[in-house]
């Protein structure tokens, strides 16, 4: 997309959840997202991000970062300049994805076409089991029936009871266990036989980022995935010594552009790749599909927690993530369906 003045609109949107979403660090009742709309000559592109307190972000701080771009946008620039203007994080993600969407609509070519990839079809996706009582988590897994793939949120209190209950409720399911940094190396080692017994495929970020050097000194039976320990390309050399997989989230990398670079670099190092998300609307998830189509594990179910999602957004049906309606994001083939409802 050639340099040209761009109009910027940035807003906070509040999307209530249908049920609380709990992890080891706390509980959420709504998705508070930042939405960017970039316009040129009546054509608009959209991007969404989720400010994350774990990384020192708030809605106000992310909007302030984006607002600082306004003079430069008025002069005109494209997404290839963005990395030099904003650090990795939610602000850059929203702007980067809006630029991809705007470029698609102006050029009359989908993001898939730009990346020389086929149209995205259904993608197998894990369903997250938020922390709750053991009985409710097991019941959710049981009622999901054909889903067959679950990411089980736990803390250090009694994780194996939860894992066993989910395994009993879904005997044929693929399981990922996600302690969200709540374990230590001793607990991780102690649980290895039980994780093997319950056929856990992957443990995601068991140890706090910054304390995970201990992973270089142990031999584990279950592969470990870096989430909070891996944000950008600069983390990969260290991560590759400690982990067997990484979780790529566009809110960490700073958008689709950097996420695609991280995907390629991770593959060169022989790492498996998960694609993850925050609790968000389908506008956050649609760009991530272009990474998910190449991933080993896909965890893009952030929209299922919302009381309502955007019209024409993604759906999770029997363990398959269904792409959004034509024109939703990064596709000029239909009218944009992006409103607040």
Query: Which residues are known to be catalytic?
Result: 153, 249
Q: How far apart are CA 291 and CA 298, in angstroms?
A: 9
Rg (Cα) of the chain, in Å, rounded? 20
Q: How far apart are CA 14 and CA 303, in angstroms?
A: 13
Q: How far apart are CA 125 and CA 135, in angstroms?
A: 23
Strands 123-124 and 127-129: unpaired
Cα 58 to chain center, whole Å?
18
Taking the alpha carbons of 168, 173, 176, 179 in that order, is the dihedral positive or negative? negative
H or E stretch covering 7: strand 7-23
Cα 245 to chain center, whole Å?
15
Q: How far apart are CA 278 and CA 33, in angstroms?
A: 10
Strands 43-49 and 26-40: antiparallel
- Give phi and psi for 227, each to the nearest 5: -115, -80
H or E stretch covering 107: helix 90-107
Asked whether the beta carbons of 72 and 61 are under 8 A apart, the reply is no
Take residue 125 and report the two structure tokens written for it: 């996706």
237 burial (CB, 10 Å; 0-12 / 13-18 / 19+) is exposed
H or E stretch covering 66: helix 59-67
In 145-255, alpha helices (H): 159-169, 185-190, 192-197, 236-242, 250-253
């Amino acid at each position: 997309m050639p340099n040209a003045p761009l109009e910027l609109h940035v807003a906070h949107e509040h999307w209530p959840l249908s049920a609380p979403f709990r992890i080891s660090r706390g509980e959420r009742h709504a998705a508070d997202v930042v939405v960017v709309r970039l316009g040129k000559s009546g054509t608009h592109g959209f991007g969404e991000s989720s400010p994350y307190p774990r990384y020192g972000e708030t809605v106000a701080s992310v909007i302030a970062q984006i607002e600082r771009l306004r003079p430069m946008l008025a002069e005109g620039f494209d997404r290839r300049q963005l990395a030099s203007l904003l650090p990795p994080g939610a602000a850059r993600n929203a702007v980067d994805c809006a630029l991809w969407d705007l470029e698609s609509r102006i050029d009359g070519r989908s993001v898939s076409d730009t990346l020389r990839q086929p149209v995205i079809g259904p993608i197998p996706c894990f369903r997250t089991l938020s922390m709750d009582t053991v009985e409710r988590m097991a019941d959710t897994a049981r009622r999901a029936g054909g889903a067959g793939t679950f990411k089980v949120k736990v803390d250090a209190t009694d994780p194996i009871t939860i894992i066993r209950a989910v395994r009993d409720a879904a005997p044929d399911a693929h399981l990922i266990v996600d302690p969200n940094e709540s374990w230590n190396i001793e607990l991780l080692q102690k649980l290895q036989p039980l994780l093997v017994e319950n056929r856990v495929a992957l443990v995601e970020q068991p140890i706090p980022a910054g304390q995970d050097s201990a992973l270089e000194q142990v031999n584990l039976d279950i592969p470990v995935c870096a989430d909070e320990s891996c944000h950008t390309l600069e983390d990969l050399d260290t991560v590759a010594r400690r982990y067997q997989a990484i979780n790529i989230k566009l809110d960490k990398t700073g958008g689709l552009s950097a996420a695609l670079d991280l995907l390629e670099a991770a593959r060169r190092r022989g790492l498996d790749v998960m694609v993850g998300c925050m609790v968000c609307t389908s506008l956050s998830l649609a760009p991530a599909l272009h990474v998910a189509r190449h991933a080993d594990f896909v965890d893009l179910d952030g929209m299922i927690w919302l009381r309502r999602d955007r019209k024409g957004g993604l759906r999770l049906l029997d363990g398959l993530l269904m792409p959004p309606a034509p024109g939703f994001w990064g596709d000029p083939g239909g009218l944009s369906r992006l409103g607040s409802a």
